[in-house]
Amino acid sequence: MLFNSLDFFIFLPIVFVLYWFVLNKNLKVQNFLLLIASYVFYGWWDVRFLSLIILSTIIDYFIGIKIHESNDETKRKRWLRLSMLVNLSLLGFFKYFNFFIDSFISAFNSIGIEMDTFTLNIILPVGISFYTFQTMSYSLDINKRKLVPTKDFVAFATFVAFFPQLVAGPIERASNLLPQFLRKRKFNNKFASDGVRQILWGLFKKIVVADNCAPFVNSIFSNYTEEPSSMLILGVVIFAFQIYADFSGYTDIAIGVAKLFGFDFKKNFNFPYFSKGISEFWKRWHISLSSWLNDYLFTPLAVEFRNYKKRGIFLAVFLTFLISGLWHGAGWNFVFWGGLHGLYYIPVIFSKKRFTSISTNKGSKVKLDFSITDIPKMVLTFFMVCLTYIFFRSASLSDAFGYLKGIFTQIPTFPNTIPYELFLFIIILMATEWFQRNKEHGLQFDDTSKVRPFFRWVIYFLLIFAIFIFQEEQQEFIYFQF
């Protein structure tokens, strides 16, 4: 079920009413309702793949308990390996099987050994990259003795499958989300209405900004050989705003929906395009994934490589980004995208004596202090990120290089079509977020807000109006494919 579909807007009030007004006496029953609702939400898309979620849930539920009960380090490690094996095999088979077979065969072909192409017709189960990461972190944290497993199976299963964040995150940690399933939620009017505002802001980003950018970007990326270089540059810049509006819009809806049910998710985006450097960008973009990679991949690698000083740190950063690339998609263009981000850290790591991490979980602690001299840094960071998007958006690595070459070789005439309305949407988006940059989201009006209630209602009305007027053809969320 898509957040931006009519189905969801029938589903959501039904679950909401049952949750707060019918089944509100018993916590376990309430959790069970959320579990069933989550499975219905997922099954709407494809019932068959529910079995994978349930498998991953059962495995990590039992393994979590087993690790906790054992004091023998070898046994603990063995259980942990089993959890990793199951989750990574699910991910490996459904997401990477064809990619590895393809790469393997073309490697053989390139050294003169002819092999027939052999790939399977595998459908990628939506959300698999997200929930497998969530369950793996559960077992990893228990193994590190940072978390005590729950014996409440329904609570755990709901933690894994909770519908607001099941298909595209945020990848919640058990330490934050699981306890929320184990204690009674009270309806808080302020919190829930903030959720509604966040949903509205997310819908605006998705339906008005991202979905209107999509046809423009798609046509440029599919005809890049025929477009003037000015259009190619415009195409990737507009894509930067499309993907931000799409993914952060999705996240705003997810966090807002969770708030309606009394759950507090961690912040996933912290106005990333206002970053003054690449390491700051990664503290603000898809925070739940980058902090996951930071904790479970980068840190263990860096600890291993610590005796090689800065070179060791760089190697850990670079490997982390290559894997992050592969996480996003089974294609060499994604690996290249990750590698490029890794290379951007060379000046960060080697120029300063001390420097900053690739991501932290500190979220909203990263405040935006701003002075006018920061503008060049922000613009430079934005264009560095745009360069990587050529690889992220192109269908393949050779298309990406073709696109890049086109920017430098194709005639630089003035763009043949200028999408003025897209500029307007993007300006509204960015101006609002700049104004609200120290808040949780674009429409958060708390007691300290300077926006008067009358204007707030004008804004809500205009946004709803815009959503109905500028509705384009419904598009899936970009991150559903990962």
- Report in angstroms how near the CB of residue 292 gets to other proteins at its nearest: 12
Residues 43-62 that bind other proteins (CB under 8 A): none
The encoded tokens of residue 224 equal 């890049």
Q: Give 316-368 as a 3 state SS string.
A: HHHHHHHHHHHHHCCCHHHHHHHHHHHHCHHHHHHHCCCCCCCCCCCHHHCCC
Residues 276-295 that bind other proteins (CB under 8 A): 294-295
Burial state string for 173-194 with b = 16 or more CB within 10 A and e = fewer than 16: bbeebbebbeeebeeeeeebeb
Nearer to other proteins, 64 or 125 (CB): 64
Residues 115-144 that bind other proteins (CB under 8 A): 144
- In the residue annotation, 68 being an active-site residue is answered as no
- Report in angstroms how near the CB of residue 139 gets to other proteins at its nearest: 14
The 8-class DSSP code of residue 39 comes to H
- Burial grade of 218 (CB within 10 A; 0-12, 13-18, 19 or more): middle
Q: Is 309 left (phi over 0), alpha (psi -120 to 50) or beta?
A: left
Nearer to other proteins, 314 or 482 (CB): 314
Q: Which stretch binds other proteins (CB under 8 A): 103-111, 153-161, 268-276, 355-363?
A: 355-363
281, containing H or E segment: helix 278-284
Residue 400 in the binding site for other proteins (CB under 8 A): no
Residue 151 in the binding site for other proteins (CB under 8 A): no
d(CA 80, CA 139) in angstroms, rounded, equals: 6
- Report in angstroms how near the CB of residue 293 gets to other proteins at its nearest: 10
Q: Which stretch binds other proteins (CB under 8 A): 35-43, 84-92, 100-108, 297-305?
A: 297-305
Residue 205 and residue 448 in contact, taking contact as beta carbons nearer than 8 Å = no
- Report in angstroms how near the CB of residue 480 gets to other proteins at its nearest: 29
Contact residue for other proteins among 356, 387, 434, 437 (CB under 8 A): 356
The encoded tokens of residue 83 equal 């959890």
Residue 298 in the binding site for other proteins (CB under 8 A): yes
Residue 355 in the binding site for other proteins (CB under 8 A): yes
The encoded tokens of residue 1 equal 């079920």
Contact residue for other proteins among 33, 319, 358, 407 (CB under 8 A): 358
- Report in angstroms how near the CB of residue 303 gets to other proteins at its nearest: 5
The 3-state DSSP class for residue 476 equals: coil
In the stretch 70-109, what mask flags binding to other proteins with x, by CB under 8 A? ---x------------------------------------
The 3-state DSSP class for residue 150 equals: coil
The angle, 0 to 180 degrees and rounded to 10, between the axes of the packed helices 332-343 and 309-328 is: 150
Nearer to other proteins, 185 or 276 (CB): 276
Residues 304-343 that bind other proteins (CB under 8 A): 304, 306-307, 309, 313
Task: Kindly report the length of the chain.
Answer: 482
Residue 265 and residue 283 in contact, taking contact as beta carbons nearer than 8 Å = no
- Report in angstroms how near the CB of residue 184 gets to other proteins at its nearest: 27
The 8-class DSSP code of residue 470 comes to T
- Report in angstroms how near the CB of residue 409 gets to other proteins at its nearest: 39
d(CA 82, CA 71) in angstroms, rounded, equals: 17
Nearer to other proteins, 289 or 302 (CB): 302
Nearer to other proteins, 125 or 272 (CB): 272
Q: Give 200-265 as a 3 state SS string.
A: HHHHHHHHHHHHHHHHHHHHHHHCCCCCCHHHHHHHHHHHHHHHHHHHHHHHHHHHHHHHHCCCCC
Residue 184 in the binding site for other proteins (CB under 8 A): no
Nearer to other proteins, 312 or 415 (CB): 312
Residue 365 in the binding site for other proteins (CB under 8 A): yes
Residue 303 in the binding site for other proteins (CB under 8 A): yes
Active-site residue (options: 68, 328, 341, 441)? 328
Nearer to other proteins, 13 or 300 (CB): 300
Nearer to other proteins, 218 or 357 (CB): 357
**Long-range contacts, stretch 367-373, CB < 8 angstroms, 24+ apart:** 367/438, 368/271, 368/274, 368/437, 368/438, 370/274
Contact residue for other proteins among 357, 378, 397, 467 (CB under 8 A): 357
Residue 458 in the binding site for other proteins (CB under 8 A): no
What residues act catalytically?
A: 328
Contact residues toward other proteins (CB under 8 A) are: 73, 144-146, 294-295, 298-300, 302-304, 306-307, 309, 313, 349, 354-360, 362, 365
